[in-house]
Structure 1
């Protein structure tokens, strides 16, 4: 990026230059990006995207960096990170409007404390609401699409609310994957009034089970492979690939639906697996 472009980008929020992408992803893999911008507000987000398009600066909108495998090569563009900007939540009775940068586990625990069910499955997914909507994240035979009423999307210079049917949710799929130029801004969710203590008991039991069976203290994408007619880890085990290692990356010995970065794994290490 040119000096004049850097000067202008600084007007939109906090700009960090020459950032290792590995510091932004949960698996800790990735090369250097020219800049990472944390927009100061929603208007700045709109303006910086317009600026990048006008100046032909490549950009990529980032949440928490889970389920992202970045190349080791330098990215000559801008990462726009939403976790410090679009991270607000508003509730009226059982309806919640939550912004894309809000932590998904934090949302699940907020709903639990307020006595609303529908997000118990989300307590252990290391992502943001925006990422969850993008891939229709889920666990325990539930997914975020089951509680979505509408999603607010930036399309070019307009904002549009999409109904849940418009989002075309499927298993780990949404219409957003077909439109990389759309940016998820927020969602309106509808939850169900329930027993806070019962929800907490369920979530704590699941948390203890995850701690005992998943590599939560290591660098991973989170759960990695898509399920088919049975859990994907069963196929991995049937192929004898639990513990399979390439360079610094390994199929977790603890749970074979996870790839772990043992030490200084590269893009090629992980991609080879």
Structure 2
């Protein structure tokens, strides 16, 4: 039997703490179960989630089958001088694993929420580091032809907050290269990054992380939000954080208010600066 729930309340799977219900919510325990379900339900549309750190579920819920990868996608081990990591592993868990084994270049992951699979799919990064710097290979399932597929680093085009893997590809495993270093220096770097994050970004609030991607290297999204005056705009109980105005703080129970704030900000910044902000948050569900 599949671990399948119907009419499932999605609010517990979003850091915003809100959202409607999914018609179906499927948690496969391994690749074979995932492949088997897709094979037996060829007409369903799917959306894969991780920890819900950058997702806004709409109030009316989702017709797509929501997939959250289960326990056997959270394994992590070393083989042939590489890290083999399930896509359901949290980024900070991967960072801790690297620290424990004396592997460098994973320190920045201690400051990014969410799962490794989600991090790869959006080439997540901070402090001038991105997933493209450490990924060697990505493995997964093509849900169109029902085959296991591998992509090495040369086959993946990484760019700012996105990669060019097919939409019908579900990442199940990520392979990382290993470089050895001093555990003490790794630990110090992690602590430095965490302090920088605590100083600059809000914590202990219901948020989806960075709301917008930076439009280019010369100007940041938060600067445009602030200069346009949108940082003081409020819809219902949705508003931008005073500590960092590219973070939306949710104090209510309506995803529509957050979506209104996002759309208002896009329109206002476009009108005032002729720059189109692109959301980093994924908005899922029925309008």
Instruction: Give the TM bin, normalised by the shorter chain.
Output: 0.7 to 0.9
Match of 1:190 among 166, 177, 188: 177
Separation in 2 of the partners of 1:216 and 1:165? 37
Q: Which residue number in structure 1 is paired with residue 53 of structure 2?
A: 66
CA-CA distance at 1:144 after TM superposition: 0.6
Q: Which residue number in structure 2 is paired with residue 78 of structure 1?
A: 65
| Aligned residue pair count | 258
| 1:136-175 map, 5 Å | 136-155=123-142, 156-175=145-164
Whether contact under 8 Å (1:109, 1:123) holds in the other structure is yes
| 1:25-36 map, 5 Å | 25-36=14-25
Whether contact under 8 Å (2:25, 2:65) holds in the other structure is yes
Name the TM-score, length of structure 1 as normaliser: 0.88
The alignment yields a C-alpha RMSD, in angstroms, of 1.8
| 1:7-156 map, 5 Å | 11-12=1-2, 14-53=3-42, 56-92=43-79, 94-155=81-142, 156=145
Whether contact under 8 Å (2:56, 2:255) holds in the other structure is no
Separation in 1 of the partners of 2:128 and 2:104? 14
Name the TM-score, length of structure 2 as normaliser: 0.84
Whether contact under 8 Å (1:57, 1:77) holds in the other structure is yes
For structure 1, which runs of at least 5 residues remain unmatched after alignment? 1-10
Helix, strand or coil at the partner of 1:101 = coil
CA offsets, 1:133-184, max 9 Å, x none?
A: 11001111110111111111211321121111211111111013xx221111
| 1:162-241 map, 5 Å | 162-176=151-165, 179-227=166-214, 228=216, 229-241=218-230
> Deviating runs (4+, > 6 A) in structure 1?
none
Q: Which residue number in structure 2 is paired with residue 261 of structure 1?
A: 250
CA-CA distance at 1:103 after TM superposition: 0.7
Whether contact under 8 Å (2:74, 2:87) holds in the other structure is yes
Whether contact under 8 Å (2:24, 2:65) holds in the other structure is yes
